[in-house]
Amino acid sequence: MNSLSNTFSLLHLDAEDDKEQIASLTVAKDKNHATNSDKDKKTGELSGKTTTLKIDKINEESFSSSSGNYRMPLVWIDLEMTGLNIEVDRILEIACVITDGKLAKSVEGPDLVISQTKESLDNMGQWCRDHHAASGLTERVLQSTITEKDAETQVIDFVKKHVGSDTPLLAGNSIYVDFLFLKKYMPNLAAIFPHVLVDVSSIMALCIRWFPKEKKKGHQRRKRSIELWMISKKA
């Protein structure tokens, strides 16, 4: 019994020694773990930075092309019409600009005045008669020899030259109206674009609601610019 007690005593002492050894090993392990964690953290940070750089590089490459084509292109089209009635009104002018998806690159395309009959011009509403006469568009329409088909072909050639194999999105202000007229009078041009439209009037309407303070600042800056312009004219 005594021998057993002594044996257990020895085991107990050994246990204490083991505890101390285990404690020292635990501290060392914790230090190693902390060191490894720091290394892993730094490695992770470096890896994250490297990944970010790679992603940025890929994004930049996706918007550049050796052939000069515009990546994720937006085709901005603006039409002048005799009115907004798709059943009777006609296209008087079409202008086109292409940008890449980031608006970092742009190229101006055709700006074409289309020949229409004097009758269609005489049937315009009062606003269109006044506006188009003041800008000189009415007279240029009467002098033009460009048909709607000619204009459509020129714009299609311009778009295909710069967008390559990418699918362009049609963009503009209240562009859905222009799209309706393109579908009727320039269907081959309209067929280039998918149903997704980039309408900046919608974006503006949302910005006014989401950032009303910025709108107020914009009005103040514009008012100040007008005042400075008037002062410079008087001088």
Amino acid at 75: V
**Measured distance CA(108)–CA(116) in Å, rounded:** 24
8 A C-beta contact, residue 92 and residue 185: no
Collapsed DSSP state (helix, strand, coil) of residue 100: coil
Select which of 132, 162, 195, 219 is catalytic: 195
Q: Which neighbouring-strand residues pair with 74?
A: 99, 169
Cβ neighbours of 91 (radius 10 Å):
21
**Measured distance CA(139)–CA(131) in Å, rounded:** 12
Give the closest residue to 110 by CA, choosing from 98, 99, 101. Answer: 98
Collapsed DSSP state (helix, strand, coil) of residue 66: coil
Q: Are strands 74-81 and 91-99 parallel, antiparallel or unpaired?
A: antiparallel
195 is catalytic: yes
Give the active site residues.
195
